[in-house]
Amino acid sequence: MPELPEVETTRRGIAPHLQGQRVSRLVVRERRLRWPIPEDLAIQIEGQCFDAIERRAKYLLLRIGGGTLIGHLGMSGSLRLVPAGTPAGKHDHVDIELESGMALRYTDPRRFGALLWARADEPHALLGKLGPEPLSAAFDGERLYQLSRGKSTAVKPFIMDNAVVVGVGNIYASEALFAAGIDPRREAGRISRQRYLRLAEEIKRILAAAIERGGTTLRDFVGGDGQPGYFKQELFVYGRGGQLCKQCGTTLSEVRLGQRSSVFCRNCQR
């Protein structure tokens, strides 16, 4: 599933091609995504110019006309630029054709993604209860420490809660906990302030590094320019259950936490 670095990589890839460009035509081949594409979307965006291409958590916010086109890549979705009129494949569900002669193409084999519309004067419900961005000053270890007090849930699902901090998905939660030396099974409320300060630093460091490397290529993810990400080469634990720890040589363990697979080192993480 594309996580925050993959979505930010997509944003950076498509933004230069969309900013200030006018939409000439919307082509919808399949409306049945996670939520149906609005029937009146063409009315909202055709003839309008893109003002800004932003991101909030894992949502892409395409500011245009009198509102925002909200995009989510789901589990297998991608947005990339192609020449307008490029023949569509089986899973190419939407083209937003531009006067420049290019088209923003949404592809999604599993159709778990979304393209929704929000008027400028009506913030969308999906964005209303999100926590701070992990790379912003609003997120730090003190926030993790204070919100964790009294919580018996494991620390990994705790930091993956979007109300606590957005965008720390399974890949990067696993990697940050390893870097901070914290066992993902530990109760969130029993971790010290000092360890949370370290964990927040590692979350920021790892997410920033993943963004710079174009995200992590898993299965069929590629960025907005059609190129794969390269952070997978730097993973220490995610997806490596049963292999040897790169740090100490211990066989990595794998458990289920919050219905997610979690790989960790029993020697390095406590």
% of the chain at pLDDT higher than 90: 84
Residue pair 214/229 in contact (Cβ under 8 Å)? The answer is: yes
pLDDT at 136 over 90: yes
Output the pLDDT for position 219.
37
Output the pLDDT for position 218.
38
Examine the domain organization and report whether 146 and 119 are in the same domain: no
Examine the domain organization and report whether 156 and 83 are in the same domain: no
Distance between CA atoms of 77 and 91, rounded to whole angstroms? 9
Is 58 considered catalytic here? Answer: yes
Examine the domain organization and report whether 161 and 104 are in the same domain: no
Catalytic pick among 185, 205, 240, 260 = 260
Examine the domain organization and report whether 154 and 251 are in the same domain: yes
pLDDT at 220 over 60: no
Determine, yes or no, domain membership for 134. Answer: no
Examine the domain organization and report whether 188 and 82 are in the same domain: no
Examine the domain organization and report whether 180 and 221 are in the same domain: yes
Examine the domain organization and report whether 175 and 259 are in the same domain: yes
Summarised one tens digit per residue, pLDDT across range 113-128 is 999 999 988 878 999 8
CATH assignment of the domain containing 16: 3.20.190.10
pLDDT at 184 over 80: yes
Distance between CA atoms of 250 and 238, rounded to whole angstroms? 15
Say if residue 91 carries a ligand binding annotation. Answer: yes
Output the pLDDT for position 258.
85
Say if residue 110 carries a ligand binding annotation. Answer: yes
Is 260 considered catalytic here? Answer: yes
Domain boundary among 127, 162, 181: 127
Q: Which of 108, 93, 80 is nearest to 41 (CA)?
A: 93
Output the pLDDT for position 148.
98
Confidence of residue 68 (pLDDT cuts 50, 70, 90): very high
Least confident of 173-177, 216-220, 246-250: 216-220
Could you list the residue range(s) of the whole structural domain that residue 223 is in?
141-264
pLDDT at 33 over 70: yes
- Tokens found for residue 244: 């040897």
Determine, yes or no, domain membership for 136. Answer: no
Determine, yes or no, domain membership for 269. Answer: no
Stated pTM of the model: 0.88
Domain boundary among 127, 155, 182: 127
Distance between CA atoms of 209 and 46, rounded to whole angstroms? 37
Is 97 considered catalytic here? Answer: no
Examine the domain organization and report whether 115 and 214 are in the same domain: no
Output the pLDDT for position 216.
55
Output the pLDDT for position 237.
97
Catalytic pick among 11, 55, 58, 80 = 58
pLDDT at 228 over 90: no
- Provide the 3-class DSSP secondary structure of residue 38: coil
Per-residue pLDDT averaged across 197-208, rounded?
A: 97
Catalytic pick among 3, 6, 8, 202 = 3
CATH assignment of the domain containing 234: 1.10.8.50
Catalytic pick among 2, 5, 157, 184 = 2
Output the pLDDT for position 223.
45
Say if residue 90 carries a ligand binding annotation. Answer: no
| 231 Cβ neighbours under 8 A, 6+ residues apart | 5, 209, 210, 213, 214, 215, 216, 217
Examine the domain organization and report whether 120 and 185 are in the same domain: no
Determine, yes or no, domain membership for 42. Answer: yes
Examine the domain organization and report whether 72 and 172 are in the same domain: no
Is 204 considered catalytic here? Answer: no
Output the pLDDT for position 123.
79
pLDDT at 164 over 70: yes
What mean pLDDT, rounded, does the chain reach? 92
Output the pLDDT for position 230.
40
Per-residue pLDDT averaged across 193-220, rounded?
A: 84
Examine the domain organization and report whether 99 and 151 are in the same domain: no
